[in-house]
Amino acid sequence: MPRRDVHIHLPDIDEPVTLDRIAGDWHIHQLARGHRFSTDDMVTAWLAVEHHPSPRRHLDLGTGVGSVGTMVLWHRLGRPDAAEGRSRVDPELPLPLMVGIEAQEVSHRLNRHTLRRADLEDVVELRHFDFRNPAALPPSEHHTYDLVTGSPPYFPLGKGVVSPHPQRAACRMELRGDVFDYCRAAVQALSRDGLLCICHAANDPRPEAALLEMGLTIRDRRDIYFRRNRAPTIAIWAAGFGGTRNDGPPVVVREADHDHLLDVFQPHMF
Let me know if residue 7 belongs to a domain.
Answer: no
Let me know if residue 224 belongs to a domain.
Answer: yes
Let me know if residue 233 belongs to a domain.
Answer: yes
**Higher per-residue confidence, 254 vs 60:** 60
Averaged over 121-128, what is the pLDDT?
96
Q: How many domains does the chain have?
A: 1
User: Taking each helix axis from N to C terminus, what angle separates 206-213 and 179-189, rounded to the nearest 10 degrees?
Assistant: 30
Q: What is the pTM of this model?
A: 0.90
Give the residue among 152, 224, 237 at the shortest CA–CA distance from 196. Answer: 237
Segment 139-157, tens digit of pLDDT:
999 999 999 999 998 777 6
pLDDT confidence of 127, banded at 50, 70, 90? very high
Let me know if residue 125 belongs to a domain.
Answer: yes
Averaged over 154-169, what is the pLDDT?
72
pLDDT confidence of 163, banded at 50, 70, 90? confident
Let me know if residue 4 belongs to a domain.
Answer: no
Let me know if residue 181 belongs to a domain.
Answer: yes
CATH number at residue 116: 3.40.50.150
Spatial separation of the C-alpha atoms in residues 91 and 89, rounded to whole Å: 6
Spatial separation of the C-alpha atoms in residues 249 and 73, rounded to whole Å: 25
Segment 208-263, tens digit of pLDDT:
999 999 999 999 999 999 988 889 999 999 999 999 999 999 998 887 776 555 54
End-to-end CA distance of the chain: 10
Let me know if residue 131 belongs to a domain.
Answer: yes
Residues 6+ apart with CB under 8 A from 234: 39, 40, 43, 199, 200, 201, 202, 223, 224
Range of the domain at 264: 35-269
CA atoms within 13 A of residue 6's CA, in its CB half-sphere: 9
Let me know if residue 193 belongs to a domain.
Answer: yes
| DSSP symbols for 5-29 | EEEE--TT-SS-EEEEEEETTEEEE
